[in-house]
Each structure stands twice: as C-alpha cells, then as structure tokens.
Structure 1
Amino acid sequence: MGARVDGKVALVTGATQGIGLAIAETLAASGASGICISGRNEERGRQAVEEISALGCPADFVAAELAEANAPARIIKACTDRFGRIDCLVNAAALTDRASLLDADLDIWTKLFDVNARAPFFLMQAAVRAMRKQGTGGSIVNILSMNAHCGTPELAVYSGAKAALAVLTRNIANAHRFDRIRVNGINVGWADTPAERVMQAATLGLGEGWLEAASASQPFGRLLSAQDVANLAVFLLSDASGPMTGALVDQEQWVVGSRN
C-alpha cells in the first residue's frame, strides 16, 4: 500500500516554509481533499496556499501566533469551518532559540514552552475532540527533534520543550488508541531548512559556507532535507502505517547510543 491520504483533510502548522510546507505539499500530491495551513507570515501563507492549490488540492491559510493562548482552538475551528472535518494534524511549527542552563531566563523558557509544547498540546486537544465527534478516527504527527534525547548545552530549553512534546505524543497515543486516533512523532536530525540557513549563516555568524562544511561532516554527505521529513510524515499520516501509534522515529544519520 502506498502512502496515500485520499479524501483526508489535514491541518499543518508552521507550513509557510521549510518542513511544514514540504509536508503540506506532499499531502496535496498524495490525494488530500483539503489542507489548512497556519503560520505567522501572511504573505508567505498566501504564497503557500497558491502552491498547494496548484497541485489540485483546496487550501486555506490561518494567520496565527502560537504563543497566544486561544490560537490552537481558533486554528482547528478555522479548519473544520472551511472543510467540514479534520482527519490529520501535523504540529510542525516550533521556535529554535538558543539558551543553556546558565544563559536561560524565564522569558525564553516561557516562549519556547508556549510554542513548542503548550500550543501542540492544545492543538491536539481540539483536533482529537473534532475527530472523536466525527467518529472516523484520525492521525497526528508531531515534528520533534533528536535534541529531545539530550540536546547540546546551548539548546537546553529547546530540548526540554521537545522532550515534553515527545512524552505527550506517547501519552495521547495511549489515551486515544481506542478512538482509532494515531499519534506519532519524528525526531528530526540536522536538516537544511530556510530557518536553519538563517540561524547558521547569520545568527551564529558562520557565513554562507556553513552548509557545505556541515554537509561534508555527515555520513551521507548532506543534511536531511525538508522533503525527507515530509515523506516520513505523510507515511505516518497515511493508512500505510496503520495501526502504528505512539512511535517516536529517529530520522537521523547518527545512531543513538553508538560511539560516533
């Protein structure tokens, strides 16, 4: 069975660029009957809707700041109002601000946990309620990070938020397996995305040559691509992966526990 999502309606957060957009476009190419995307940038959102619609799939954009407490319920409502249902949810939106134990303050802790853990939790809550009302099950994929296993020192708060979402992924999968709602997560390794390019080249000051150097350091000679993650996410969302639930998949070139 191929990874198809024929007739399903999907909501993807953080889908105006990078991994989220790649997932939304791959869902459209895999038979989705409707896709709702959310993000902060309205111009990129409109462009993403045009790209998805060009693939033959109706699409809608919801401008939202996930740090706002009412955003998750509003986004899910916008999806069900537009398409009449929700079958798939992808929590791809996240902040990657750096902060170690000694550098972190309450503001960055609150910022990262609000967007990377609290918002996905309440998006899942609203989506599961809608899926249970529909009575046809559903599938959720949370985009996590290899840093949830431990994380580098400067990603202490980010790693903690992703680890919290990893536990919630399994907890919610367990709680709603008899509703036939599957919940899985992808621990994404180092990926080449628009946000990562800005982070490495500008924010961290590594310049334009960072990607070539980083790629040369990887076992397969390149970083993960957004499409790599999208392919796995759509498989997990599709019936091809059923009845798999509660899985946290390491999508990475380095094996956890090995002495690299």
Structure 2
Amino acid sequence: MDVGVDGKILLITGATQGVGEAIALEAARSGADGVMVSGRNARRGADVAAELEELGAEAGFVEAALEDSEAPAAIFQATLDRFGRVDVVINAAALTDRGSVADADPDFFDRMFAVNTRAPMLLMQELIRHLRERKAPGAIVNILSVNVHGGTPDLAVYAASKAALAILTKNAAFTHRFDRIRANGILLGWADTPGERDMQANKLGHGEEWLAKAEAGMPWGRMIKPEDVARLAIFLASDASIPMTGALIDQQQDYVLGVRD
C-alpha cells in the first residue's frame, strides 16, 4: 500500500514544534509538493521550512496567533498566494492549559475555544469553500484528544473544546462526503511533546524526572511520540485512506474505551 501525499499541497498549523512539526516533516518525506506551516515562533518556522525544503518539498511559513479570529483566513490566503491551491488542512495547533469546570474563568474558556475549536473550524471552512470552487477532492485531519471521552478534572475546558471539534469533524465528513472532502480526527493520548515536557516539568512542578516515571508505566515502555502521530495523520491525508471519512481514531495505549485501571 502506497501511503503518500504525492503532488499535494498541505497546510499544517502548530507546525513549529512537536506533533505539527513531525507531521510537516513526514509530509515532505511522503512526496508533498508543498507544505505551508504556521505557528507563533518565526525563528522556528523558518528552521522548519528550511528543513522541509531540504527534504524536497517547497515550503513556507506564516506567523499567526490563532486567538485572532482573522488569522485562519490570513493563513489560508497566504497558502494560496504561495502555492495556488490547497489540498489538505491538518489542524495540529492547540492550547493544553489546565482548567476545571469549578475554576475556569470566562477569559480562559474563550481563549481555549478560540484556539482549539474556532480556528480549526474556520480553516475547515476555508478549505471546503476552496475545494468546492475547484470541484476537487481533499482531506481534513484534526488532531483531537482522548479527553473527548470525558477528561480529567483539570482538563475539563480543554476536553470540551476538543469534543466540540470532534463533532464538527464528523459533521463536515457527513455534509461534504459527496463533495469528496474527507474529514477525520486523531484522538491523541498522552504524548511526549515539547509542550507537554514544559507543562509537566515546569508548570505542574513535576521536575525533569516526570518523563522516565511516566514511560516506565506505559505498556510499550514509552509515551506516544510526535512521529507516531505523524504517520497516522499522513495516512488519513493520503489517498490510501479513501473512502474513510468521519473517523475519530483513538491513538492511545493506556486510556482505552473511556476507562483507566
């Protein structure tokens, strides 16, 4: 089975580190003609774009803060300006800040939903309009979370924002199936990313030893890595996964069927 994105133009958010960066690099290795990456860090964005070019894909970077409601349209237009078309959108950017039902304030709630739900929905909207105008097939891949099954107390707002995006993913898949626009989501479990390392070691105060302790308790002796997510995301973006659409795939080894030992 040929799992590749040969000839396709991909737009990937949150691609200056972690999961988004790994997906962008896997796309370049998998034959993408062009990859537009977006994120907050201009230096990292330039570095990732340069690495993509070395791998043989034309690349660009758009600096953007997804809290801004105008950012998704600007990112999409920049991709059109650079490449002339877009075939795949992969929404990997997200905030994972902690907030419970009892403690989250309105500003926190609005910021989480702006980045985790509104921005990817608007990018989905831009791609759908563009593909329908072109009468062309395409794919959406949303990086979600196993926390859509309920979530731990301090991840209530995060879980809710991802659950809302999960519904939008399934709705878009159903609504646009005859447009040949596929939408799938990855319900990502606990992963070893730069953001999670900072969260656990610094913001939550668990120190640098947290990773070794966490991995020791995993069935495979390690946490999910960005490269694991990248391979699945590229499969979903590729023609190899046709006609699969509306799927929400748990990518997790510890939290299965909504329960934990």
Flag the 1:257–1:162 CA change in 2: closer, same or farther, 3 A: closer
- Who is 1:187 aligned against? 187
Task: Give runs of aligned pairs for residues 59-74 of structure 1, distance below 5 A.
Answer: 59-74=59-74
- Who is 1:166 aligned against? 166
> Partner of 1:38: helix, strand, or coil?
strand
- Who is 1:256 aligned against? 257
Distance 1:179 1:56 in 2: 31
Distance 1:61 1:216 in 2: 37
Q: Deviations over 1:115-144 (max 9, x none)?
A: 000001001001111111121210000000
Does residue 1:238 correspond to 2:235, yes or no?
no
Distance 1:259 1:19 in 2: 24
Taking structure 1 as the reference length, the TM-score comes to 0.98
Task: Give runs of aligned pairs for residues 143-158 of structure 1, distance below 5 A.
Answer: 143-158=143-158
- Which consecutive unaligned segments of at least 5 residues does structure 2 have? none
Amino acid in structure 2 at the alignment position of 1:164: A
Question: Cα RMSD (Å) of the superposition?
Answer: 0.8
**Contact 1:17–1:194 (CA<8 Å) still a contact in 2?**
yes
Distance 2:13 2:68 in 1: 14
Distance 2:39 2:133 in 1: 26
Distance 2:233 2:218 in 1: 22
**Contact 1:85–1:134 (CA<8 Å) still a contact in 2?**
no
Does residue 1:41 correspond to 2:60, yes or no?
no
> Partner of 1:192: helix, strand, or coil?
coil
Q: CA deviation at 1:258?
A: 5.1
> Partner of 2:153: helix, strand, or coil?
coil
Distance 1:73 1:175 in 2: 21
Distance 1:47 1:256 in 2: 39
- Which consecutive unaligned segments of at least 5 residues does structure 1 have? none
Task: Give runs of aligned pairs for residues 29-178 of structure 1, distance below 5 A.
Answer: 29-178=29-178
Distance 1:18 1:116 in 2: 16
Distance 2:228 2:213 in 1: 20
- Who is 2:12 aligned against? 12
> Partner of 1:52: helix, strand, or coil?
helix
- Who is 2:3 aligned against? 3
Distance 1:237 1:161 in 2: 23
Runs of 4+ with >6 A deviation: none
Q: CA deviation at 1:43?
A: 0.7
Distance 1:213 1:2 in 2: 38
Q: Deviations over 1:2-45 (max 9, x none)?
A: 21111000000000000000000000000000000100111111
Flag the 1:227–1:157 CA change in 2: closer, same or farther, 3 A: same
> Partner of 2:139: helix, strand, or coil?
strand
Q: Deviations over 1:80-131 (max 9, x none)?
A: 1110110010000000110111110001000000000000100100111111
> Partner of 1:3: helix, strand, or coil?
coil
Distance 1:158 1:41 in 2: 22
Does residue 1:213 correspond to 2:218, yes or no?
no
Q: CA deviation at 1:61?
A: 0.3
Distance 2:113 2:12 in 1: 19
> Partner of 1:60: helix, strand, or coil?
strand
**Contact 2:149–2:258 (CA<8 Å) still a contact in 1?**
no
Q: Deviations over 1:119-177 (max 9, x none)?
A: 01001001111111121210000000001110000001000000000000000111111
Taking structure 2 as the reference length, the TM-score comes to 0.98
Q: CA deviation at 1:56?
A: 0.7
Q: CA deviation at 1:257?
A: 4.4
